[in-house]
Amino acid sequence: MKDCIQRGLTSPHPLHLQSARADWVQASKNDAINVLSDDCTAFGMKLWFCVAGPHILVLGIICFPFVFIGSSLISFYFGTLTWHNVFNHFYDERTICHRIMLCPLLVLLFPVLIIIFTVPLALYAAFVQVW
């Protein structure tokens, strides 16, 4: 912030103010980077615990089951909605042959299909969200 402020109504000499906040922020950022790089380097290599320490690993292991359960519930819900839409499509909008042959097959295969698609999707979602 650079500005010129005059003191009084008739003062011929302006008072110049300059904010040092931007310089201070940049200097503190550079100091933090230098300190972090000095602390996290050993023998020319980055130490793994400066990026993701053991506390992050333990927290991820603790949270993984909860994230897996939540992801599996969401996957089951969306899988059931998708299965219901497919079932309604074949039952309402297709011919009688589809209604007789495919709809019972969809009903019988629902548990198998929902497990096949829900469990891997929940595992992937939990792995991606935690790690």
91, 107 Cβ separation under 8 angstroms: no
80, 64 Cβ separation under 8 angstroms: no
**Euclidean distance between CA atoms 101 and 89, whole angstroms:** 14
Q: What is the mean pLDDT of each run of 10 residues along the chain (131 residues)?
A: 55 55 63 55 52 72 90 93 90 85 88 91 87 70
Quote the pLDDT of residue 60.
Answer: 81
Quote the pLDDT of residue 115.
Answer: 92
Quote the pLDDT of residue 35.
Answer: 52
Q: Which helix (H) or strand (E) holds 41?
A: strand 41-42
pTM over 0.75: no
User: Counting Cβ atoms within 10 Å, is residue 40 exposed (0-12), middle (13-18) or buried (19+)?
Assistant: middle
